[in-house]
C-alpha cells in the first residue's frame, strides 16, 4: 500500500512537470539534430548526453523529495485543520501563497456564516421555546372549559387539544435535538417511574380508544436522562395509540435492559420497516392516515443516540409492532 501510494504521488509529480520534461526532450532532439548537421563526433555528443542524464538523475529525485515532503506537510495539516488553520505550511511559491490566502479568506467567511447561522438558530429556539410556553396557557384554559362538561363532543375536542399540545412540544424537541448545546442531566433513575409518567399521560387516550395497556413494574435503576427517555417512550405510545384499533399495548423490560413496547395494531409493511426512523418518512400507514408528520420516530432515534441507546422495530402487517429500546450499554455519546 505504501509503495502504491508513492507510485501515485510520483505519477502526480511527473504529470505536474510534464511540460518541463517535454521541453527538455525537445531541446535534446534539437541539439542532436544540430550536432548531426555539423557532423560532430558521436563520442562528444554521447558524453554531453550522459552528463545531462547524470545531472537529471540527481535533480529529479531531489525535487521529488521536496515535492513529497510538501505533500506530507499539507496532508498532516489536513488532520489538524481546525487547530492550525493559521499555521499552515509556509508557502514557498507565489501559487502556494495565493492558495493559502484563499484558504484563510474562505475560513473567515465560513466562520462568519456559521456565526450568523448559530445566532439565527438560537433566535429560532428562543422564539419557539417562548411560543410553546405561551401556547400552554390557552391550551390549559380550553382543557378546563372542556373538562367542565362530560359530553361526546367535549371528549372529541379534548383529544384534538391533546394532539395540538403534542405537536407544539415536538417542534421544541426537534430544535433542541439539533442544537450544539444540550440540557441533558444523566443520573440513575428508576425505570418504573419514567414509564408510569408516560402511561399516566396517555391513559385518557387509551381509555377513549378502548385499548388495554399492560405493564408489570421491574424496579431497575438505569443511567439516563429522564426527560429525553420519557420523550422516546411517549412518542412510541402515541404511535401505538394511533395505529391500534383493538387489543392492547404491552410494556415489558428484559434482564438485558431492553425496554419493549408491543401493540396489536395494524403493523408496518415490510418494505417500510427499514425506513421508519428516517426523517419525514411516513410510509403506507402515514399516507393513509393523512396526519403523520414522519418526525416522531426520527426524533426518537436521534434522542436514543444522544442517550447511548439503540432503538429498533419488528413488525408484521396485521399483527402489530414491537419497538425495542436497548439500554444495556452505558456508553454516553455527546455531540
Cell of 232: 422516546
Asked if pLDDT for residue 161 goes beyond 80, the answer is yes
Long-range contacts at 168-172 (CB < 8 A, ≥ 24 apart) = 168/131, 168/132, 168/135, 168/136, 168/139, 169/132, 170/293, 170/295, 170/296, 170/299, 171/128, 171/132, 172/125, 172/128, 172/129, 172/132
Report in angstroms the alpha-carbon separations of 218 from 107, 248, 252, 334: 54, 20, 9, 29
Q: CA quadruple 40, 46, 48, 49: dihedral positive or negative? A: positive
Ranking 78-82, 266-270, 271-275 by mean pLDDT, the lowest is 78-82
Ranking 4-18, 145-159, 209-223, 227-241 by mean pLDDT, the lowest is 4-18
Distance CA(114)–CA(116), nearest Å, equals 5
CA atoms within a 13 Å half-sphere pointing along the CA-CB vector of 1: 0
What mean pLDDT do residues 2-7 have? 64
Asked if pLDDT for residue 235 goes beyond 80, the answer is yes
pLDDT of residue 192: 93
Amino acid at each position: 500500500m505504501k509503495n502504491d501510494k508513492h507510485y501515485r504521488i510520483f505519477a502526480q509529480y511527473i504529470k505536474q512537470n510534464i511540460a518541463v520534461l517535454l521541453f527538455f526532450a525537445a531541446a535534446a532532439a534539437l541539439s542532436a539534430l544540430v550536432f548531426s548537421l555539423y557532423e560532430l563526433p558521436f563520442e562528444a555528443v554521447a558524453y554531453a548526453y550522459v552528463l545531462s542524464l547524470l545531472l537529471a538523475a540527481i535533480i529529479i529525485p531531489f525535487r521529488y523529495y521536496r515535492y513529497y515532503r510538501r505533500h506530507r506537510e499539507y496532508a498532516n495539516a489536513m488532520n489538524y485543520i481546525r487547530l492550525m488553520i493559521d499555521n499552515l505550511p509556509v508557502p514557498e511559491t507565489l501559487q502556494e501563497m495565493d492558495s493559502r490566502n484563499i484558504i484563510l479568506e474562505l475560513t473567515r467567511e465560513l466562520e462568519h456564516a456559521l456565526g450568523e447561522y448559530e445566532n439565527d438558530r438560537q433566535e429560532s429556539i428562543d422564539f419557539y421555546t417562548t411560543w410553546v410556553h405561551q401556547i400552554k396557557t390557552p391550551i390549559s384554559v380550553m382543557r378546563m372549559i372542556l373538562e367542565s362538561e362530560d359530553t361526546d363532543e367535549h371528549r372529541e375536542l379534548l383529544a384534538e387539544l391533546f394532539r395540538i399540545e403534542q405537536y407544539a412540544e415536538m417542534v421544541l424537541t426537534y430544535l433542541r435535538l439539533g442544537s450544539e448545546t444540550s440540557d441533558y442531566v444523566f443520573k440513575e433513575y428508576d425505570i418504573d417511574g419514567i414509564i408510569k409518567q408516560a402511561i399516566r399521560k396517555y391513559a385518557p387516550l387509551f381509555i377513549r380508544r378502548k385499548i388495554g395497556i399492560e405493564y408489570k413494574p421491574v424496579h431497575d435503576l438505569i443511567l439516563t436522562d429522564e426527560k429525553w427517555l420519557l420523550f422516546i417512550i411517549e412518542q412510541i405510545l402515541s404511535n401505538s395509540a394511533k395505529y391500534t384499533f383493538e387489543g392492547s399495548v404491552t410494556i415489558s423490560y428484559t434482564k438485558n435492559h431492553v425496554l419493549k413496547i408491543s401493540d396489536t395494531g395494524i403493523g408496518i409493511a415490510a418494505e417500510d420497516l427499514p425506513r421508519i426512523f428516517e426523517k419525514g418518512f411516513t410510509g403506507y400507514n402515514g399516507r393513509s392516515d393523512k396526519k403523520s408528520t414522519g418526525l416522531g420516530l426520527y426524533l426518537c432515534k436521534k434522542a436514543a443516540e444522544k442517550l447511548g441507546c439503540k432503538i429498533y422495530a419488528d413488525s408484521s402487517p396485521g399483527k402489530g409492532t414491537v419497538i425495542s429500546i436497548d439500554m444495556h450499554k452505558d456508553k454516553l455519546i455527546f455531540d
